Amino acid sequence: MSEPKAPTPAPGDTYKGWLFKWTNYIKGYQRRWFVLSNGLLSYYRTQAEMGHTCRGTINLATANIAVEDSCNFVISNGGTQTYHLKASSEVERQRWITALELAKAKAFRMQAESDDSGDDSTPPAAGQGAGSRNSEVQSTLRTLGSKVEDLSTCNDLIAKHGSALQRSLSELEGVRLGGETSEKIRQVTERATLFRITSNAMINACRDFLALAQAHSKRWQKALQAEREQRVRLEETLEQLAKQHNHLERAFRGATVLPPSQSNPAIDSKGPVPGKGDASDEDEENEFFDACEDVQEFITVPADPKYHRSGSNVSGISSELGMDDGTTSLDEQSLASNPESPQSQEVVPVRKRRTRIPDKPNYSLNLWSIMKNCIGKELSKIPMPVNFNEPLSMLQRLSEDLEYYELLDRAAKCQSSLEQMCYVAAFTVSSYSTTVHRTGKPFNPLLGETFELDRVQESGYRSLCEQVSHHPPAAAHHAISERGWTLRQEIALASKFRGKYLSIMPLGSIHCIFEKSNNHYTWKKVTTTVHNIIVGKLWIDQSGEIDVVNHRTGDRCHLKFAPYSYFSRDVARKVTGVVTDKDGKAHYVLSGTWDEKMECSRVMQSSRGGENGADGRQKTVYQTLKAKELWRKTPLPEGAENMYYFSTLALTLNEQEEGVAPTDSRRRPDQRLMEQGRWEEANAEKQRLEEKQRTARREREREANRATNPSEEGKEPADGAEEVEIASEPSETTYKTETLHGSHPPAYSSGHQDNYRPMWFERQVDPKTGEPTHIYRGGYWEAKEQGSWDSCPDIF
């Protein structure tokens, strides 16, 4: 620990050192670097932050300093700011107290003098310009310089006459009384008179200098403060200009920053996800990631003009993605290249979907009304009100991944697997665009709940989701398109609660298979973080890395979702990536944001030769063609802020439809009541459904026990086992217990022994990933055509 050297520093000296500062009841005391200067006590998280980020400042002129015990003391300005501090020892605490008292006294005097002087010395008017102010300063400096020269001359004279006087006194001591005495006394008297005169001149010069300095000190202090404020404003303006310049430059050149883990794309390695930084301590509404210096390991620059010549091989190769220099847009080119485009077929009238839902009621949430009903209850039996929800189920949220299905339609038309990879990567990013404002929690599906999304007439695909497991909660999803692609996934959720934020980690792989090329792509989802869980405005961030792998060709796309950082100069929610072949050669560079758009640039040449990276190696420089847009987010409908920020597709997901299964989420009564604004009735209905599910769960367990232990028939399950198995909702117990203990749920398993089997999916080992997963077994759409739902359970 760095400690001040002087126990009692001078009042004007800067005093620095480490102290422990109380932050909150979760973190307790945290070590901070404190700086005492000019009557202000400021603190930083580290010494390195002194140049750019001050975490807090308190003015000692009006502060009260109180000692609590041998090591603790409190500084408060009477209202808005109070610092509870602790030193490592009593000696160090006394040093700080002494320094603070001296600084407080000096700050008080300066404030009083400033108040007394008031308007005695006012700076020149703004209209007089900087020239008059400079001339006045120069004149004052010349006057002060002459006074200093006078002081220097007086100092020399004092030294000269003082030495002569000393010699005369020495000679006087050695002289014998007689005739020489009177002469020596006269000489001493003359020299003492000269010394007195010189000393008086010195005193007068010092008085003049001090009076002049005091007369101008207040004005200079005000001028200095004005300059400091102007400098801060200029620095802020410069920072904004730098960000704008950086953004415009990257937009113009199609530049991007690629993740460090891609230094060797041929190796399937993932770099560590940036860690969570310790955020500011007082009343913060945001949690930031520490990324002050975002080291660029890769650089993209415009390719040589020779690559842009029309008619070259490059233009032919890149025709599907629009990588040539022509004017045909990506969408026009993709549609024009497909002779079987839906636009060339007969137009079939489609159903008109709804564009609005009832506005969200402005119901206040009384946390005490929830907590008082939970006293004495088991954690697994505490109901969560619909106030935290949005009127969609998790199955419907999973179906929203198909919001931008057109990307897969275009990918199915691609002749090149590398170009196809660009569209698949853009599709993986687009699935997060709907989450940027969606802070509401979707309804946890009941076991056996389903959701169909039949869009064959409008979009050429149909989708089915089913809740296939209760512990841990897991949902299976299968979508197939008439345009040559199939998407399937099984997602289970793990969560960690860190006090200020909740991290949600999706478990399971997503598969996309293209019928024509037989290309099979897989990837996993990144971590979703919900910030300000306890205090402040909720906001969502996506962070982590995704590897999209083509198992047939070995092509790979490594995407990096950059976590939000207060210090980063990059755009927020940034996503970057590179597409490589099986040999690790880069072909495309991707860049954009997960809430707005994605672009790609074809790599024409790569080389080593940029600046050295963080690990000392030279950066890879990619020469790329002009960036082309792959995907752009569709604007939200008008009034979305009053409709849970639902997208156009999300508004239609809970719309009533004829012929759907009796287990479909559209038929769930509590969700329907919430959408209609009847939240109290929705809460009552929600509790009824949960109790019904518990009863069905217990019955399945009894049947499983009778099947495995016939001698135990008729006996109730053990109380302890029942407490573990019962849940208020399929995933609610998992959510609450994990958030309290900060643990992951176990990897997906076959579930508890309750002999439950999903209706439309069956459990298999995936041949590509080797993971156990649920795959669609078929039969749903046939049952819908026949209207035969007799085998469906009664879950609502």
pTM recorded for the entire structure = 0.58
Decide: 393 and 740 in contact? Cβ < 8 Å: no
What is the pLDDT at residue 411? 95
Could you tell me the pLDDT band of residue 671, with boundaries at 50, 70 and 90? very high
Q: Cα–Cα–Cα angle for 635, 513, 332, nearest 5°?
A: 45
Mean pLDDT of 731-742: 37
The number of beta carbons lying within 10 Å of the beta carbon of residue 407 is 22
Could you tell me the pLDDT band of residue 134, with boundaries at 50, 70 and 90? low
Tokens found for residue 190: 């003359």
Tokens found for residue 430: 């687009």
Measure the CA–CA gap between 729 and 379, rounded to whole angstroms: 12
Say yes or no to pLDDT of 325 above 70: no
Say yes or no to pLDDT of 358 above 80: yes
Say yes or no to pLDDT of 462 above 80: yes
What is the pLDDT at residue 690? 87
Which tens digit of pLDDT belongs to each residue from 407-420?
A: 999 999 999 999 99
What is the pLDDT at residue 452? 96
What is the pLDDT at residue 509? 94
The angle, 0 to 180 degrees and rounded to 10, between the axes of the packed helices 179-253 and 90-117 is 90
Measure the CA–CA gap between 720 and 400, rounded to whole angstroms: 39
Quickly list DSSP for 763-796. Answer: EEE-TTT--EEEEE-S-HHHHHHHT--TTS----
Measure the CA–CA gap between 558 and 577, rounded to whole angstroms: 5
Say yes or no to pLDDT of 349 above 90: no
Which tens digit of pLDDT belongs to each residue from 69-107?
A: 878 899 988 767 888 999 988 888 888 888 888 888 888
pLDDT greater at residue 587 or residue 305: 587
Q: Which residues fall within 8 angstroms of residue 682, CB to CB, at 6 or more apart?
A: 386, 670, 671, 673, 674
Which tens digit of pLDDT belongs to each residue from 553-572?
A: 999 999 999 998 877 778 88
Say yes or no to pLDDT of 190 above 70: yes
Could you tell me the pLDDT band of residue 256, with boundaries at 50, 70 and 90? very low
* Highest averaged pLDDT of the listed ranges 403-407, 532-536, 621-625: 403-407
Could you tell me the pLDDT band of residue 148, with boundaries at 50, 70 and 90? confident
Which tens digit of pLDDT belongs to each residue from 8-18?
A: 444 445 788 99
Mean pLDDT, the chain, as a whole number?
76
Say yes or no to pLDDT of 128 above 60: no
Mean pLDDT of 128-134: 54
The angle, 0 to 180 degrees and rounded to 10, between the axes of the packed helices 179-253 and 129-174 is 150
Tokens found for residue 537: 């405005």
Gap between the terminal Cα atoms of the chain: 64
Smallest Cα–Cα separation from 422: which of 301, 600, 280? 600
Q: Which residues fall within 8 angstroms of residue 467, CB to CB, at 6 or more apart?
A: 394, 395, 445, 446, 447, 448, 449, 450, 473, 474, 475, 730
Q: Cα–Cα–Cα angle for 550, 416, 631, nearest 5°?
A: 80
Say yes or no to pLDDT of 482 above 80: yes
The number of beta carbons lying within 10 Å of the beta carbon of residue 554 is 14
Residue 507 sits at φ, ψ, to 5 deg, of -110, 140
Measure the CA–CA gap between 63 and 57, rounded to whole angstroms: 11
Say yes or no to pLDDT of 511 above 70: yes
Say yes or no to pLDDT of 735 above 50: no
Exposure on the CB side of residue 509, measured as CA atoms within 13 A: 20
Strand pairing category for 298-302 and 618-624: parallel
Measure the CA–CA gap between 147 and 49, rounded to whole angstroms: 42
**CB-based burial, 644-668: b 16+ in 10 Å, e otherwise:** bbbbebbbbbbeeeeebbebbbbbb
Say yes or no to pLDDT of 483 above 90: yes
Least confident of 513-522, 679-688, 718-727: 718-727
Smallest Cα–Cα separation from 279: which of 571, 570, 566? 566
Mean pLDDT of 351-363: 88
Least confident of 86-95, 179-188, 265-274: 265-274
Q: Cα–Cα–Cα angle for 163, 168, 172, nearest 5°?
A: 150
Pairs from 458-462 (Cβ < 8 Å, separation ≥ 24): 458/350, 458/351, 459/405, 460/342, 460/409, 461/402, 461/405, 462/781
Tokens found for residue 307: 């690559």
Could you tell me the pLDDT band of residue 470, with boundaries at 50, 70 and 90? confident
Percent of the chain with pLDDT over 70: 72
Which tens digit of pLDDT belongs to each residue from 577-619?
A: 999 999 999 999 999 999 999 999 999 887 765 555 555 566 7
Mean pLDDT of 333-356: 57
Percent of the chain with pLDDT over 90: 33
Q: Which residue is it, tokens 């960036």?
A: 627
Measure the CA–CA gap between 344 and 452, rounded to whole angstroms: 28
Least confident of 47-51, 126-130, 495-499, 671-675: 126-130
Say yes or no to pLDDT of 156 above 50: yes
Say yes or no to pLDDT of 405 above 50: yes
Least confident of 46-50, 165-169, 171-175, 788-792: 171-175
In angstroms, the Cα distances linking 11 to 106, 224, 321, 755 are 7, 20, 69, 79
Residues facing 477 on adjacent strands = 465, 489
Least confident of 13-22, 163-172, 344-353, 550-559: 344-353
What is the pLDDT at residue 368? 55
Mean pLDDT of 434-439: 88
Mean pLDDT of 199-211: 79
